[in-house]
Structure 1
Amino acid sequence: MSKQIIRTAQAPAPVGPYNQAIAVSGRMLFVAGQIALNPSTGEIVGGGDVKQQTLQVMANLEAILTAGGATWADVVKTSVFLADMNDFAAVNGVYAQYFDEATAPARACVEVSRLPKDVLVEIECIAVIP
């Protein structure tokens, strides 16, 4: 089993001892949880607006997927972490812009007590590299 570190300046640098993504044997791509950080400034995008934060999270995920040779269509699993489950509908509305319901990946969505930098949403994903 080979493992390749995936890094791109188009997504925020990790804020701890982890990588943006790991490709395993050139077939599976494991993308670390992304929050609403602007990759250029390192600042949180969207303030208290969960929709704006989710758009930035999805942009960060897309940049990493692209760097790893994958697209949204290759994503097979996502995990969504919310600071408030009352934001589920708003996050789901943005999320649905990226995945067709008929072919959407498997997903878990949970409320957590706190997220890094006190953001409202974090999303991670796993993709199969074509």
Structure 2
Amino acid sequence: MGITRIHTGERMSKIVKHNGVAYLCGQVGSGDSVAEQTRDCLARVDALLAEAGSDNTRILQAIVWLADMADFAEMNAVWDAWVPAGHAPARACGEAKLARDTLKVEIIVTAACD
């Protein structure tokens, strides 16, 4: 089975599919608060998953980076409302300096796909 790259640029692809798995590049969102950025980020994840032939019930793993772990509860409130009951993926969350000072959250997702 081959590798399919979608929305490929010079630096990265937004989606890479291989052997029934979709790998999404890190997604960030817009807004002033962690909650706003998380909601927007997850909407972008939803759109990419749909394009890959998947959805948030098929996520295998998620990695969440926060600019400040003090925002963990605020991010989790949005995350918990988004993940369908019984479909929580393997997940890690850590603190990292993100690409721009205005970013508060970045999420990387791997999911089963068609």
Show the 5 A alignment for 1:6-85: 6-7=6-7, 17-25=11-19, 27-36=20-29, 45-47=30-32, 49-85=33-69
Indicate yes or no: 2:110 matched with 1:115.
Answer: no
Higher strand share: 2
**How far is 1:64 from its partner?**
0.5
| Equivalent pair of 2:27/2:108 in contact (CA under 8 Å) | yes
Equivalent position of 1:2 in the other structure: 2
Partner deviation per Cα, 1:98-122 (whole Å, 9 max, x = no partner): 213532000000011x112220000
Secondary structure of the residue aligned to 1:54 is helix
State the AA in 1 paired with 2:5: I
**Number of equivalent positions:** 113
| Equivalent pair of 2:58/2:87 in contact (CA under 8 Å) | no
Question: Unmatched 5+ residue regions in structure 2?
Answer: none
Which 4+ stretches in 1 moved above 4 angstroms?
Answer: none
| Equivalent pair of 1:6/1:64 in contact (CA under 8 Å) | no
Secondary structure of the residue aligned to 1:46 is coil
Percentage of identical aligned residues: 31
Q: CA RMSD in A?
A: 1.7
Equivalent position of 1:10 in the other structure: none
Indicate yes or no: 2:86 matched with 1:92.
Answer: no
Normalising to structure 2: TM-score of the pair? 0.91
Question: Unmatched 5+ residue regions in structure 1?
Answer: 8-12, 37-44
| Equivalent pair of 2:64/2:106 in contact (CA under 8 Å) | yes
